[in-house]
């Protein structure tokens, strides 16, 4: 019995000594795994927006007419974006021709009004709209503000525009937007130069790349 106890104590002492002399960070098994070269997939960012717009443009003192144009946008982040717009409509002075004995305000009964602008947008209220019980589409309510130029009767006028819009995405690449803007510029067609507010309501499709 005494010999057995002595042998057991000797074995435990040897194991403790071996464990204390082994480095703490020594890796017992070294894996032999060849590193593979991985090719990461390229996911489309869909930050660029191209679209068509159409609606109604109300020129102060001259009535409302149809407007149509093009839009190019870039979404900087999920909250902020910029866009460039180019559009045109017609302006009629028919009412003034009936009142003024010497003719109307313009050389012709109708004049073309064209404008372009660069506008910044802020998505203030993103959300969803449900179509039926099992289908939801992403939406966003956003604010707009920008600067540009309006050409009417061969005169260019610096223009500020403010407004709001609602965007709904049908897919990752196709969306519908509705916007209400106020185009503010000064003209002197009716006498002294005055600041005019010209409201525009448009809708259109947008395609994202």
CA 110 to chain centre: 35
Q: Which long-range contacts (CB under 8 A, 24 or more apart) does 168-173 make?
A: 168/129, 168/137, 168/138, 168/139, 169/137, 169/138, 169/139, 170/137, 172/46, 172/208, 173/46, 173/207, 173/208, 173/209
Residue with the two structure tokens 């002492």: 13
Q: Which long-range contacts (CB under 8 A, 24 or more apart) does 132-137 make?
A: 137/168, 137/169, 137/170
Q: Where are the domains of the chain?
A: 48-208
State what percent of residues in the chain have pLDDT above 90. Answer: 60
pLDDT classification of 202: cutoffs 50, 70, 90: very high
Residue 5's pLDDT is 57
The C-alpha atoms of residue 124 and residue 101 are separated, in whole angstroms, by 52
Q: Which of 41, 72, 77, 44 lies closest to 173, judged by CA?
A: 44
Q: Which of 194, 85, 90 lies closest to 147, judged by CA?
A: 85
Q: Which CATH number fits domain 48-208: 3.40.50.300, 3.90.1150.10, 3.40.630.40, 2.40.160.20?
A: 2.40.160.20
Q: Summarize pLDDT for 147-176 with one digit per residue, the tens.
A: 999 999 889 999 999 999 999 999 889 999
Q: Summarize pLDDT for 78-122 with one digit per residue, the tens.
A: 899 999 999 999 999 888 877 776 677 888 889 999 999 999 999
pLDDT classification of 34: cutoffs 50, 70, 90: confident
Q: Are 194 and 187 in contact (CB under 8 A)?
A: yes
Residue 72's pLDDT is 97
For 134, the 3-state DSSP assignment is: coil
Interacting residues of 135 by C-beta distance below 8 A, sequence separation 6+: none
Say yes or no to pLDDT of 1 above 80. no
Beta strand extents in the chain (DSSP E only): 48-59, 63-75, 80-92, 110-130, 136-152, 155-169, 174-187, 194-208
Q: Are 109 and 94 in contact (CB under 8 A)?
A: yes
The C-alpha atoms of residue 32 and residue 75 are separated, in whole angstroms, by 47
Q: Are 54 and 204 in contact (CB under 8 A)?
A: yes
Residue 28's pLDDT is 65
Residue with the two structure tokens 């600041």: 195
């Amino acid at each position: 019995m005494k010999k057995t106890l002595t042998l057991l104590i000797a074995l435990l002492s040897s194991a403790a000594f071996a464990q204390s002399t082994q480095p703490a960070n020594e890796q017992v098994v070294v894996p032999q795994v060849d590193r593979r070269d991985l090719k990461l997939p390229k996911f489309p960012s869909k930050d660029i927006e191209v679209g068509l717009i159409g609606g109604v443009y109300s020129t102060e003192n001259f009535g409302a007419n149809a407007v149509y144009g093009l839009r190019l946008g870039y979404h900087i982040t999920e909250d902020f974006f910029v866009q460039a717009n180019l559009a045109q409509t017609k302006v009629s002075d028919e009412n003034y021709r009936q009142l003024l004995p010497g003719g109307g305000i313009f050389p012709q009964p109708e004049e073309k009004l064209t404008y372009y602008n660069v506008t910044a947008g802020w998505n203030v209220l993103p959300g969803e709209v449900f179509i039926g019980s099992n289908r939801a589409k992403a939406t966003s309510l956003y604010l707009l503000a920008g600067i540009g130029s309006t050409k009417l009767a061969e005169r260019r006028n610096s223009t500020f525009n403010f407004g709001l819009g609602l965007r709904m995405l049908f897919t990752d690449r196709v969306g519908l937007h509705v916007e209400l803007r106020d185009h503010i510029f000064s003209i002197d067609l009716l006498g002294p130069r005055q600041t005019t507010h010209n409201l525009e309501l448009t809708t259109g499709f947008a395609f994202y790349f």
